[in-house]
Structure 1
């Protein structure tokens, strides 16, 4: 870790890790689907790995990928938010491949926190992931329809 990252960490002390965290880098979450750590047992955090930095956080990579994922993101005021969301997509692609349509793998709390540190919201507010709810009728399910 270089000195700039050390200073950044000192300026933004992390709250105590919740009991479900195994890497000591997760932050408390109120929703059960947000209570996910990168590890099943104690150990180093994936968000501190060199691959995480290269594949998820590296700005030149995100700036190269973004026009392919969202060609209309050209305005500076939405650029940081676009980089933020692109970093989430990069993590999912790296760890899970291309998920099927309508499938949204959960990103661990520690990784979300690290992405937010690197690409913060200008107003400091985050809405979290909200999946689109779909309704399935019993008749449609019986007929094999999604």
Structure 2
């Protein structure tokens, strides 16, 4: 059974989360391992775990300001688990956490291929498409 856990960077599962992010998000586009960890210490990390293995992860970065917003980044699901609901499970847990913490809006930079996934969870696209790490992205947000 898959469980979603909120972890810190000191957790024994954090290196497994890092490896998944590197494998799924960074290496395929030629970005060095660990290149997107600049916010990790101040962020909340959600991992989907089964039998001690990290199958998926998502990071929520608190955004400065009075709006109580967060940015969803580094969403990754192991290739063998994609399309099986792991990503939705992670984001729903992230939303439940936001409601408890008083975070009212979540934004993200969605890869073009992931826009339908985020739309299915209630996110709306805004602004113009842009390129990040050589890939077309959209700004997306949801007000909780």
TM-score, scaled to structure 1: 0.29
Q: Whose strand proportion is higher, 1 or 2?
A: 2
- The answer to which structure, 1 or 2, has the higher relative contact order (CA under 8 A, 6+ apart) is 1
Q: Whose helix proportion is higher, 1 or 2?
A: 1
User: Is the radius of gyration larger for structure 1 or structure 2?
Assistant: 1
TM-score, scaled to structure 2: 0.30
